[in-house]
Amino acid sequence: MHFPETSIENLRGFGYTQNEACFLYLVATHSGYFSARQYLAFTGAKSGEKSMALTQKVLGKGHAAARLLLRNGRVYHLFSRLLYRAIGRENLRNRREHAVEHIRTKLAVLDFVLAHLEYSYLETETEKVDYFCRKLSISRTLLPSKRYQGAVREKTTDRYFVDKFPLFFAPESSSSPVGTFSFVDPGVLSLASFETHLFAYSNLFSAVPQVNFVYIATRPKHFAAARELFLAVAPRATDPDPGVEGLRYFHYRHMWETKQYARLIAEQIEFLKEAKERFNDALTAHGQKTQTS
């Protein structure tokens, strides 16, 4: 993860510490929403004093608003135009208010980023378009896009990668000519949105030399079905996920480390013990907060 020096200094100019500035950069860029738990995870602190200092600061400066969210508790929305302008992202839609499902999706995105700070992310629409069109010489017409109606009736604007799901390069796959795509499931009841997402990306998947894909979710309910659907839509995939077993490992490990022992059956505990040896690598070492496949 690269933190632009100018952006961090601009945020520190508002009175934030180095850790606070770096965290707020991540939130503004990847999510727009955060919880106190996520800030503690970022800093490695156990005391709530640090998170309280940050939340009081962002609220007091008028940079964020608090909101109670069922299951997630209190979350904070960074909406200040001044704060986004400080990092050169004034027009990011993360500033806007969103529905509950969108907020949960964004919190899951931030969890993934915080758990994988060693990855290199294509953070903006411009970076993604430039990478595929300039570096890989792929036509812009093959990129996932959405057309928006302008204020003038005849004027429209095409925007690309509007889902804003993480698109990244993992250290262990640095030799790959293509980054890793992803989809974030906030806990929906069906795979309809995932199927729509795959079809939106199908032309791009057909154009890139290799497809690497990660399905990010907080629950394991759809993992197997999602993998089958992905392989049906993108049969050229050479690396559809880091492994379904790896996915199960992340999920069971998170349950164990958060002391949810009653939810683990004997078979799952046995799998966790056996899998620790096989998944003891850089990916799993940083995957304690998010389940991926």
Please check whether residues 148 and 256 belong to one and the same domain. Answer: yes
pLDDT value at position 264? 64
Whole-number Å distance between alpha carbons of 247 and 245? 5
Mean pLDDT value of segment 136-149: 91
Res 290: pLDDT: 36
94 and 191 assigned to the same domain: no
- Assign 249 a pLDDT band (cuts: 50, 70, 90): low
What local confidence, expressed as pLDDT, does residue 275 receive?
66
Indicate if the alpha-carbon torsion angle 83, 87, 91, 94 is positive or negative.
negative
Same domain, 155 and 226: yes
Q: Is residue 103 part of a domain?
A: no
| Mean pLDDT, residues 80-86 taken together | 95
Same domain, 84 and 138: no
Query: Does pLDDT of 287 surpass 60?
Result: no
pLDDT digits (tens, 9 = 90+) for 1-31: 889 999 999 999 999 999 999 999 999 999 9
Helices 48-60, 18-30: inter-axial angle, 10-degree rounding: 70
Report which of 136, 135, 158, 138 is spatially closest to residue 147, judged by C-alpha positions: 158
Whether pLDDT at 280 is above 80: no
Q: Give the Cα separation of 150 and 147 in Å (integer).
A: 9
Q: Are residues 172 and 225 in the same domain?
A: yes
Span of 36-40, 84-88, 243-247 with lowest mean pLDDT = 243-247
| Same domain? 162 vs 277 | yes
Hey, how many other C-beta atoms are within 10 angstroms of the C-beta on 2?
7
pLDDT for 289 equals 36
Coil, strand or helix: which one is 181?
Answer: strand
The pLDDT of residue 246 is above 90: no
Read out DSSP for 88-148?
Answer: T-TT-GGGS---HHHHHHHHHHHHHHHHTTTSEE--SHHHHHHIIIIIS---GGGS-EEEE
Give the mean pLDDT of the chain. 82
Q: Quick one: 129 and 37 in the same domain?
A: no
Residues 86 and 175 in one domain: no
Give 288's pLDDT tier (boundaries 50, 70, 90). very low
The pLDDT of residue 178 is: 74
| Domain annotation covers residue 108 | no
Number of domains, the chain: 2
pTM score, two decimals? 0.77
Whether 201 is in a domain gets the answer yes
Task: Give 146's contacts (C-beta < 8 A, 6+ positions apart).
Answer: 158, 159, 162
Residue 240 φ/ψ, nearest 5 degrees:
-65, -20
Local confidence band at 285 (pLDDT 50, 70, 90 cut-offs): very low
Residue 180 and residue 213 in contact, taking contact as beta carbons nearer than 8 Å: yes
Strands of the 33-34 sheet, one edge to the other: 33-34, 73-78, 64-69
* pLDDT digit string, tens, across residues 45-75: 887 888 899 999 999 999 999 998 877 689 9
For 87-101, what is the mean pLDDT? 86
Per DSSP, which regions of the chain are E strands? 33-34, 64-69, 73-78, 120-121, 145-149, 156-160, 168-169, 180-185, 212-217, 291-292
Find the mean pLDDT for residues 214-242.
75
Do 284 and 168 have their domain in common? yes
Residue 289 has φ and ψ, to the nearest 5°, of -105, -10
Find the helix packing angle between 244-257 and 223-233, rounded to 10°.
Answer: 150
231 and 172 both lie in a single domain:
yes
Average pLDDT over residues 137-148: 92
Question: Mean per-residue pLDDT for 179-183?
Answer: 92
Percent residues over pLDDT 90 in the chain: 48
Q: How far is Cα 242 from Cα 239, in angstroms, rounded to an integer?
A: 7
Domain of 36: which CATH number?
1.10.10.10
Residue 47 has what DSSP assignment? S
Whether residues 243 and 138 share a domain: the answer is yes
283 plus 183 within the same structural domain = yes
pLDDT at 282: 35
pLDDT at 64: 96
pLDDT at position 12, please? 97
In a domain, 30, yes or no: yes
CA distance 205 to 203: 5
Expressed as residue numbers, the domain containing 256 is: 120-292
Residue 112 inside a domain? The answer is no
Task: Specify the pLDDT at position 39.
Answer: 95
> Where is mean pLDDT largest: 125-129, 200-204, 277-281?
125-129
- Is 155 a residue whose pLDDT tops 50? yes
255: left (phi > 0), else alpha (psi -120 to 50), else beta?
alpha
Q: What is the pLDDT of residue 108?
A: 93
